[in-house]
Structure 1
Amino acid sequence: MASDRPTKDPTPPDGNGGDEPISNEAFVAMHSDPRFTELKRRLYRFIFPMSIAFMAWYLLYVLMSAFGRDIMGTNLFGSVNVALVFGLLQFVSTFGIAVLYTRYANRNFDRSAAELRDELQNGATTQKREDNR
Structure 2
Amino acid sequence: MSEDSPTGGSGAPPDHTNEGDRPIPDSAYIAMHSDPRFVELKRRLFAFIVPMSIAFMAWYVLYVLMSAFGRDIMGTVLFGNINVALVFGLLQFVSTFGIAILYTRYARKKLDGNAVELRDELQNGNGGGDR
- Normalization by structure 1: what TM-score? 0.82
Query: Counterpart in 1 of 2:123?
Result: 121
Deviation at residue 16 of structure 1 after TM alignment: 4.8
Report the counterpart of residue 11 of structure 1 in structure 2: none
Task: Look up the match of 1:95.
Answer: 97
Change over 3 Å in CA distance of 1:78–1:113 after alignment to 2: same
Percentage of identical aligned residues: 74
- Provide the rounded CA distance (Å) in 1 between the counterparts of 2:74 and 2:111: 41
Query: Where does residue 59 of structure 2 map in the other structure?
Result: 57
In the TM superposition, structure 1's runs of 4+ consecutive aligned residues that sit over 3 Å from their partners are none
* CA distance in structure 2 between the aligned counterparts of 1:34 and 1:122, rounded to whole angstroms: 19
CA contact (8 A) 1:15 1:118 kept: no
**Structure with more relative contact order (C-alpha pairs < 8 Å, separation 6 or more):** 1
Post-superposition CA distance 1:19-56 (Å, at most 9, x none) = 21210110000000000000000000000000000000
The equivalent residue for 1:107 is: 109
Which of 37, 43, 46 is the aligned partner of 1:44? 46
- RMSD between aligned alpha carbons? 1.5
Q: How many residues align?
A: 114
Structure 1 runs not aligned, ≥5 long: 1-13
Find the counterpart in structure 2 of residue 29 from structure 1.
31
Unaligned runs of 5+ in 2: 1-16
Structure 2 Cα separation of the partners of residues 103 and 24 of structure 1? 32
